[in-house]
Structure 1
Amino acid sequence: MQRLWLTNALVLCLFSSSQSLAATPLVVEAALDRQVVAPLLAAFEQAHPGIELSYRDRSTLEVNALTAVADPPPDVVISSAMPWQMNRVNEGYAQRLDSELANEWPEWAKWRNEVFGFTFEPIVMAYRLDLARHMLPPQTHADLHKLLSTQRDTLQGKVTTYSPSKSGIGYTLFQQDARYTDRFWDLVTALGDADAHLESNTRAMLEGLSEGRYWLGYNLLGSYAMVWAQEHPEVIVQVPQDYALVVMRTGFIHRDAPHPRAAQAFMNFLLSRDGQRVLAAQTPLFSVRSDIVGPYTAQRLRDQVGDRLYPIPLNASVLAFVDPQRRDAFMARWQREFNRYQGVNDD
């Protein structure tokens, strides 16, 4: 009888434990399109059936705001707007991840074991086939500037890029462009002169290209553009040949994560061989790990583009991008250069 009682108690204990595990929630606030990252989420759920994942896809600025004001806060925060992520970490919103995977992660792709870059995504140009029927598509930033200057009438209203005031990643990319080309502000003026449409996300640019409203897009997230082009053959993706910016999606565990163990499991999966293998084989997000083989890896991208890849650094230097005075000065000049030949503001 005692043995039977012990057996029943053990079964009840195991059942209660599994029920508790099955009910463990995990909330991820992310500026990362669910459609693109779906294979990774599915792999995580398969590897961790006891965690109930709630993945919320938002804009970079929404994610940044929710990091500070959400009640309850999210467990994990993911965004491509690296300066905003670094700023939140610097403000103390992240908790340290002490795991073997975190300790072994490349130094250039993490900061203080608190925030981790887990993708390696090129920034691209994209154009409709219609463009190629009228002019030679641009392969470099200089080509783009020349095209906007010499084909202004043909391209009037048919060019799109990010709005630096409505998109954190858009603002970051333009800041980086200003570092790497002396003619950046000439390019901004040419974009304004061509009445370029400013969008808040890459998807809006891609939809406009497919619908024929736009012929040419500048500074799109390559991961989204590559997925889109696979199903929309009218859109061609071009990695700039003079230099290509690279962004990393960064993730951190919120300091007040309601479910820290689930958050740790998720972050460790992003850094693991299994997670990175999914990124390299089933998404165009490009894995970071050097021991992964697949069509989308950082090493393969380096092999294709060479030393013309310019990753945005994951260190304290990017905090300058969110300095209010620097941002105000940059946006004031953007308004002045972009609107030099028109009376319209980028609201």
Structure 2
Amino acid sequence: MIRRCRSPLAGLLIALLGLAAPAGAATPLVVEAALDREVVTPLLDAFRAAHPDIALEFRDRSTLEVDERVVDDGPAPDVVISSAMPWQMARVNEGHARRLDSAEARQWPEWAKWRDEVFGFTFEPIVMAYRLDLSRRMLPPQTHADLHTLLTTEREALAGKVTTYSPLGSGVGYTLFQQDARYTPRFWDLVAGMGRVDAHLENNTRAMLKGISDGRYWLGYNLLGSYAMVWAQEHPEVIVQVPQDYALVLMRMAFVHRDAPHPAAAEAFVDFLLSHAGQRVLAGETPLFSVRPDVIGPYTAARLRDQVGERLYPIPLNASLLAFVDPQRRDAFLARWRREFRRDD
């Protein structure tokens, strides 16, 4: 499909129309996000309280849907948020982001931003999850090696009872498997093991968690820890396990769209994500884990590092992400994924 790019003139007209709102009316703000509304509601509420003059519209979509909204023919969103880090980096590299020149942007850690255009504002571990009663049948896995062993020795018992992301239907799923391939020596054996137990491939963490609670699945691999932790609080039958050999960490990446109809409101929103006030909400009221070192709470990057130590492997927020969306590399990776997932030896 050939996409038409927005012209700079079209973006200027949209911005001018946005400035023509009646005096005293709240400024609209549209945020396209791959971020569960239930999880992020405390942060949205805090922003609305701090900026009553901005009418925030938060649209929760899948990672691939959010990516489409960046370049489609409709009005541009003001802010784009996604956990599909390579896709976000690619859109910024293509020139779809507006550079922020604010104190919050300048002071943000270098490892969590790129060119002051895109910012990683969360620090979310990737986890395994399983049903509480799994331990009555077998020893729950604590490491990637444990999982591989379980898929081999308990193949019949686990048939149809394992779930993970689809690398084809989920941008974040594809990203996580690409990262796993870097750190797990027997990664492709792990993929083959999941294929031999007919693992169910889902497009989001919520579907995996629901299946575990329902009893359709006994074990889930590569779930977003932020969602899993919230779910487990309300569903005691679900146990969340941070892998003990290594744990990937992803960041939600946010940028102001180049053609944002309401750029001032958009910049205020991203600034709030990076601010001490916004990060304090993340650390204290959500399991998204704050990045700022000067924030204290149960969910901070510093506290997670204290608990897990050197086994945390954050996905780098830099230009190396662009390689993962290279069409040839992606096609080659997915072709091998299909081949290994069907392997039977």
Q: Identify the TM-score tier after normalising by the shorter chain.
A: over 0.9
Alignment of 1:166-245 (within 5 A): 166-245=169-248
CA contact 1:73–1:257 (8 Å) conserved in 2: yes
CA contact 1:21–1:51 (8 Å) conserved in 2: no
Q: Which residue does 2:100 correspond to in 1?
A: 97
Alignment of 1:138-177 (within 5 A): 138-177=141-180
Q: Which residue does 2:279 correspond to in 1?
A: 276
CA contact 1:22–1:52 (8 Å) conserved in 2: no
Q: Which residue does 2:4 correspond to in 1?
A: none
Alignment-mate amino acid for residue 268 of structure 1: D
Task: Measure how far apart 1:275 and its partner are.
Answer: 0.2
Task: Measure how far apart 1:113 and its partner are.
Answer: 0.2
Alignment of 1:1-347 (within 5 A): 20-341=23-344
Separation in 2, partners of 1:201, 1:246: 17
Task: Measure how far apart 1:181 and its partner are.
Answer: 1.1
Task: Measure how far apart 1:77 and its partner are.
Answer: 0.1
Aligned-residue Cα RMSD (Å) equals 1.3
Alignment-mate amino acid for residue 23 of structure 1: A
Separation in 1, partners of 2:185, 2:83: 25
Separation in 2, partners of 1:21, 1:54: 18
Separation in 2, partners of 1:256, 1:173: 30
Task: Measure how far apart 1:48 and its partner are.
Answer: 0.2
Task: Measure how far apart 1:20 and its partner are.
Answer: 3.2
**Cα deviations across residues 37-86 of structure 1 (Å, max 9, x unaligned)?**
00000000000000000000000000001101051010000000000000
Is there any run of 5+ residues in structure 2 with no aligned partner, and where? 1-19
Describe the SS at the equivalent of 2:344. coil
Alignment-mate amino acid for residue 85 of structure 2: M
Alignment-mate amino acid for residue 204 of structure 1: A
Task: Measure how far apart 1:126 and its partner are.
Answer: 0.1
CA contact 1:124–1:218 (8 Å) conserved in 2: yes
Alignment-mate amino acid for residue 120 of structure 1: F
Q: Percent identity?
A: 77
Describe the SS at the equivalent of 1:20. coil
CA contact 1:245–1:312 (8 Å) conserved in 2: yes
Alignment-mate amino acid for residue 251 of structure 2: M
Separation in 2, partners of 1:251, 1:198: 27
**Cα deviations across residues 83-138 of structure 1 (Å, max 9, x unaligned)?**
00000000000000000010000000000000000000000000001211101100
Separation in 1, partners of 2:34, 2:53: 25
**Cα deviations across residues 294-345 of structure 1 (Å, max 9, x unaligned)?**
0000000000011110000000001000000000000000000001239xxx
**Cα deviations across residues 127-183 of structure 1 (Å, max 9, x unaligned)?**
001211101100000000000000010000000000000000000000000000110
Separation in 2, partners of 1:341, 1:53: 51
Q: What is the TM-score when the length of structure 2 is the normalising length?
A: 0.93
Separation in 1, partners of 2:208, 2:180: 19
Separation in 2, partners of 1:326, 1:165: 14
Describe the SS at the equivalent of 1:306. helix
Moved over 3 A (4+): 17-22
**Change beyond 3 A, Cα 1:139–1:61:** same
CA contact 1:74–1:257 (8 Å) conserved in 2: yes
Separation in 1, partners of 2:222, 2:24: 43
Separation in 2, partners of 1:154, 1:104: 52
